[in-house]
């Protein structure tokens, strides 16, 4: 539960607003029923039920966009109705709604909701004692909305930067291991649902430590960057490349069977042999490849590819080794 709140910002805002509404509105709803103000009590109850339902829906389905829209719309419209029914004291309920809209929906929708709420109160006019108070309220509502917009916009940019740093390898610009774990889970789930075949290729640069030791880490970094560029140029847009760690990479391919996979990997090997260079000469790469088996877990799939890569390294490097449990015998190993 706490992990979801930490990783899903909109869900955390919906939850915070839901809890705040329960703690803040419930006493007023009870008080108004006790005072005989049935209409105001029913309005408060309707607001609580709508926000509570959206909160439960967000937690159950994970759909925070629809839930956010419901909560934002309910908070704004509810504050307007409370202001009309209760009068001047009800105006204060609109301010938290004006702030939270920018965290629950996109900026255009938030602006529309805020403007509509303020205009509706001004057109009705019953909540204000004078025109001066009405225009003062409109001015302060505008300032609050503008500040909330700026803060929400900066918060969105910062979260995007943090997400980028958390999922992208800074040297090569491709996705990192954290992203890989998520994408492999999705691939396994999609394969079980649709039957689409997937293949996993682990790539390891041969004698990479020697390149770093003899020519420096700058040259080693350039080799990694060149490898990524060549792989991206010679694979499909639907294929995904991840940096697994150090000089090791993972290539996720969809819609490939044993024969087509053998052709793809052989082509990649030839391209890398032809174009991968460093000051000391040619750079070669070892491959461990595994087709996803029906009902197989990510860990098992990755372990078979890793075992195939280990075999490629142990039996001479610059080789392609296919995990044998799901490949035709003639495709188990491929060499120069």
Q: Give pLDDT tens digits along the chain (336 positions).
A: 677 777 788 888 889 888 888 898 899 889 989 988 898 889 889 989 999 999 999 899 888 899 999 999 999 999 999 899 888 888 888 999 999 899 899 989 999 999 999 999 999 998 898 999 999 999 999 999 999 999 888 888 887 777 777 788 889 999 998 889 989 999 999 999 999 999 999 999 999 999 999 999 999 999 999 999 999 999 999 999 999 988 999 999 999 887 889 999 999 999 999 999 988 889 999 999 999 998 999 999 999 999 999 999 999 999 999 996 444 433 444 444
Q: Among residues 88, 214, 247, 330, which one is catalytic?
A: 247
Bridging pattern class, strands 281-282 and 285-291: unpaired
Tokens 């020697």 found at: 210
Whether domain 177-334 has CATH 3.30.70.270: the reply is yes
Catalytic annotation on 247? Answer: yes
Specify the pLDDT at position 17: 84
**Domain boundaries defined on the chain:** 2-167, 177-334
Report the pLDDT value the prediction gives residue 18, as an integer from 0 to 100. Answer: 87
Q: Where does residue 211 rank: exposed (0-12), middle (13-18), buried (19+ CB within 10 A)?
A: buried
- Give the span between the Cα atoms of 272 and 267, in whole angstroms: 9
Please report how the helices 107-124 and 64-86 are oriented relative to each other, as an axis angle in degrees rounded to 10. 10
Burial group, residue 82, by CB count within 10 angstroms (0-12, 13-18, 19+): buried
Where in the chain does DSSP place strands (E)?
198-205, 240-245, 248-254, 277-278, 281-282, 285-291, 320-322, 333-334
CA distances, 144 to each of 44, 138, 150, 155, 332 (Å): 24, 10, 10, 16, 66
DSSP 115: H
Classify residue 269 as left (phi > 0), alpha (psi -120 to 50) or beta: alpha
Rg (CA), the chain: 29
Question: How would you classify the pairing of strands 320-322 and 285-291?
Answer: parallel
The reply to whether the predicted model has a pTM over 0.85 is no
Chain position carrying tokens 């607003």: 17
């Amino acid at each position: 539960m706490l992990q979801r709140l930490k990783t899903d910002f909109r869900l955390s805002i919906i939850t915070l607003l839901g809890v705040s509404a329960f703690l803040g509105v419930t006493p007023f709803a009870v008080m108004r029923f006790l005072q005989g103000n049935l209409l105001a009590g029913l309005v408060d109850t309707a607001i609580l039920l709508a926000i509570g339902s959206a909160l439960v829906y967000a937690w159950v389905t994970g759909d925070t966009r629809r839930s956010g829209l419901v909560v934002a719309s309910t908070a704004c419209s509810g504050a307007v109705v409370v202001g009309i029914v209760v009068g001047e004291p009800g105006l204060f309920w609109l301010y938290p709604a004006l702030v939270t809209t920018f965290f629950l929906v996109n900026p255009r929708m938030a602006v529309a909701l805020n403007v509509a709420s303020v205009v509706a109160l001004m057109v009705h006019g019953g909540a204000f004692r004078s025109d001066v108070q009405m225009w003062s309220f409109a001015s302060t509502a505008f300032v609050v909305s503008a500040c909330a917009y700026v803060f929400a916009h900066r918060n969105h940019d910062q979260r995007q930067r943090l997400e980028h740093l958390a999922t992208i390898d800074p040297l090569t610009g491709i996705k990192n291991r954290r992203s890989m774990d998520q994408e492999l889970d999705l691939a396994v789930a999609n394969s079980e649902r649709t039957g689409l075949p997937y293949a996993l290729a682990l790539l390891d640069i041969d004698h990479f430590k020697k390149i770093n030791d003899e020519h420096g880490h700058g040259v080693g970094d350039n080799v990694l960057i060149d490898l990524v560029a060549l792989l991206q140029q010679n694979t499909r847009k639907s294929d995904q490349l991840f940096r697994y760690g150090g000089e090791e990479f993972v290539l996720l391919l969809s819609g490939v069977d044993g024969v087509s996979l053998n052709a793809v990997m052989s082509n990649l090997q030839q391209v890398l042999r032809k174009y991968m260079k460093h000051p000391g000469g040619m750079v070669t790469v070892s491959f461990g490849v595994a087709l996803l088996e029906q009902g197989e877990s990510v860990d098992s799939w990755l372990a078979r590819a890793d075992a195939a890569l280990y075999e490629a390294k142990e039996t001479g490097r610059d080789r392609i080794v296919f995990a044998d449990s799901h490949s035709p015998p003639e495709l188990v190993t491929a060499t120069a």
